[in-house]
Amino acid sequence: MSDVVIIGAGMHPFGRIDKTYEEIGADAASAALRDAGIEWSQIQAAYLSRMYLPATSGARILRRLGSTDMSITDIEAACASGGAALRQGVLAIRSGEVDLVMVLGCEKMPRGFMDPSMIYSPWQIELGMSLNPAYWSMRAQRHIYEYGTTELQIAKVAYKNHKNSVHNPYAMYRKEFSLEEILNSPPVCDPIRRLEICAPDDGAAAVVIASAKRARELGASGKAINIAACCHTIARYSADFRCPADSMSATANNPGPTEVTGKQAYERAGLGPKDIDCFEVQDTDAFCEIEIYEALGLCPLGEGGKLIDEGKTDIGGDMPVNMSGGLISKGEPVGASHLGQVVEIVTQLRGQAGPRQVANAKVGLAHVLGAGGNCAVTIMQR
Amino acid sequence: MSTVTQNAARDPVAIRDGLLCGPLSQLAQVRLAGSKCTNCGETSLGTVKICPNCGRDSVQNIALGNRGVLWSFTIVRHRPPGNYKGPDPFVPFGMGLVELPEGLRVLSPIQCDIDKLKIGLALQFKPYVRHDDDRDVVAFGFEPTQG
């Protein structure tokens, strides 16, 4: 039995939204409070996960819910910001100082490639080495070379995720594409194509978390979802080639951030990959999902392509991945993306996911990975 | 006198401090700078004071080799965002990780026909001078070895 539980979850649909970030964030926070059946005034601390919003965005958003003097902190860890923020919430409750916490993820981003000055040095930008998909593509190219992974297998991941998104009212794109349409979409950075990458967008997602004791007192134990593990790490030396790296070692052999964070989370939860019923993972590009199958232990190294061929990660398969449609369909509002995954897993574990429901899902895992090798893994259990 | 002043003002500068070594005014002698750690043996890109692997200050500045092999690559099909200094209008270009004999892979633009890019391609270091408005900047790429 875990000591910290999720008693409420809420989300604003991801997409290009004609509202301010304060409005989007407050909508998601209110939805999580309603779902938890509690009042804003009962919350004792709040964390906002965001990357592209201005200073003290957490306070600016949450003040809309009513006067408060509690600690509200913004947390940033690139694409893993949501995991880092949720971890802070869990640690705050474990410290014993508070027992009812809001963790909100919110982002509002311009269209197109992300602002490179947030991540890259001026010389990298001047040389044109400031396109995030280029880094994903070089890993894909090497995987193709080493393991015989095919462009068709990469396209199959995009096919699956676009197909799943049709049933997700929170996704930005809810359109199925044929394999042919995906393979005929123009390359962005070879071998990755337009219909195989995610786009930055706007969105928010929130959870209310509580100590197990407080959840019982509130009468919320029945629908509570246990946080079995919530881990955040950054890549060890040269363990991950991801923006804004300018070089990597050819001799160091450190395990990658997903492997390290996943192992930490599995150990803390006392579970292994075979015990997980459903996964939401970082699919900033379709290849990335294949790489993560391997790093999270869903299959041996080099066999991620085979896993998608066999349909094992479909909603009806042995180990469904990205039932929500993934970031490829939802877009990646960076600070909100992990909380969005957590809301999807909570929905799945409550059996409320409708046509995208994984039958009898009891344990779910959410994974994000991004700039600087920031990685977060949260395992939830009902 | 004015000519001297003008020349002095146009002394080339490296695209980033600590990334290049050798006399910048003699391109044939310019190399990528590296730092080799005498404790853990790792070689990293650029001049650093602390080894990014083991955290010790036992690093020696070295010049990296000017020949390498393409370890992986992509083709950038869209104009990169921000202050990109490449051709205008944009031309798709290769970018890749070049494995050098010192045991590291350096990210670099690859200056060749994009159809020629393949893993294992033999490459050589190619420093060049870029004329910005107010200064000459030594930038770099890699190109296929000649002969």
The secondary structure of A167-191 as a DSSP string is T-TT-S------HHHHHHSPEEETT
Tokens describing residue A107 = 């982002």
Indicate yes or no: CB of B81 within 8 angstroms of CB of A113: yes
Name the B residues in 51-90 with CB < 8 Å from any A CB: 52-53, 71-78, 80-86
pLDDT in tens, chain B (147 residues): 344 444 555 789 999 999 999 999 999 999 999 999 999 999 999 999 999 999 999 999 999 999 999 999 999 999 998 999 999 999 999 999 999 999 999 999 999 999 999 999 999 999 999 998 889 999 999 999 986
Share of chain A above pLDDT 70, in %: 99
Q: Which residues of B touch A117 (CB under 8 A)?
A: 82
Q: Which of B15, B42, B119 sits opposite A251 (nearest CB)?
A: B42
Q: Are A28 and A340 in contact (CB under 8 A)?
A: no
Which residues of chain A neighbour B72 with C-beta distances below 8 Å? 138-139, 141-142, 145
Smallest Cβ distance to B77: which of A126, A189, A245?
A: A189
Domain that holds residue B134: 2-144
Instruction: Identify the H or E element spanning B89.
Output: none
Q: Give me the phi and psi of A54, to 5 degrees please.
A: -70, 175
Mutate to test the interface with A, among B15, B79, B97, B142 (most CBs of A within 10 A): B97
HSE value, Cβ hemisphere, 13 Å, CA-based, for A288: 32
B122 touches A at CB < 8 Å: no
pLDDT for B2 equals: 41
Test B42 with A134 for CB contact under 8 angstroms. Answer: no
Chain A residues in contact with B91 (beta carbon < 8 A): none
Say if the Cβ atoms of A128 and B93 lie within 8 Å: yes
- The Cα A71–Cα A148 span in angstroms is 51
Structurally, chain B folds into a number of domains equal to 1
Q: In this structure, is the dihedral angle defined by the CA atoms of residues A122, B90, B119 and B30, taken in order, positive or negative? A: negative
Strand duo A278-280 + A363-370: pairing? parallel
Check residue A122 and give its pLDDT.
Answer: 95
Q: Looking at chain B from residue 34 to 53, which residues have their Cβ under 8 Å from any Cβ of chain A?
A: 41-46, 52-53
**For A60-75, how does the pLDDT look when each residue is reduced to its tens digit (9 = 90+)?**
999 999 999 999 999 9
Strand-strand pairing, A225-233 and A4-15: antiparallel
Residue A300's CB is within 10 A of a number of other CB atoms, namely 11
The nearest CA of chain B is from the CA of A182 a distance in Å of 17
Euclidean distance between CA atoms A73 and A355, whole angstroms: 37
For the domain A4-111+202-227, what is the CATH superfamily, name and number? Thiolase/Chalcone synthase (3.40.47.10)
Tell me the nearest-neighbour CA distance from B38 into chain A, angstroms. Answer: 15
Q: Is the CB of residue A111 less than 8 Å away from at least one CB of chain B?
A: no
Cβ separation of B72 and A187 shorter than 8 Å?
A: no
Q: Is B19 on the interface with A (CB under 8 A)?
A: yes
Nearest CA in chain A to B115: A190
**How many residues does the structure list for chain A?**
382
A129 Cβ under 8 Å from any chain B Cβ: yes
Residue among A52, A137, A247 with most chain B CBs within 10 A, to mutate: A247
Dihedral sign computed on CA atoms, order A117, A118, A123, A126? negative
Nearest CA-CA partner of A275 in A286, A289, A262: A262
- Chain B contact for A121 (CB, 8 A cutoff): yes
Nearest chain B Cα to A136, which residue? B74
Contact residues on chain B for A239, CB-CB shorter than 8 A: none
Tell me which chain B residues have a C-beta less than 8 angstroms from the C-beta of A243.
none
The answer to whether B147 contacts chain A (CB < 8 Å) is no
CB contact under 8 A, B96 and A138: yes
Closest CA to A294 of A153, A86, A87, A180: A153
- Is B95 in contact with A134 (Cβ distance < 8 A)? yes
**Residue B3 confidence (pLDDT):** 42
Which residues in B lie closer than 8 A to residue A142 (C-beta atoms)?
71-72, 119
**Tens-digit pLDDT profile for residues A245-261:** 999 999 999 999 999 99
B106·A245 Cβ contact <8 A: no
User: Residue A72 forms beta bridges with which residues?
Assistant: A46
**B81 contacts in chain A (CB < 8 Å):** 112-116, 125, 130-131
A116-198+229-381 carries CATH number 3.40.47.10: yes
Identify the pLDDT of residue B5.
45
B85: closest CA of chain A, how far (Å): 5
| Residue stretches of chain A with pLDDT short of 50 | 1
Boundaries of every domain in chain A:
4-111+202-227, 116-198+229-381
Contact A249 B103 (CB under 8 A): yes
Q: Is there a contact between A129 and A122 (Cβ–Cβ < 8 Å)?
A: no
In degrees, to the nearest 5, what angle opens at C-alpha A342 toward C-alphas A50 and A277?
150
pLDDT in tens, A20-59: 999 999 999 999 999 999 999 999 999 999 999 999 999 9
Tell me what pLDDT residue A345 has. 98
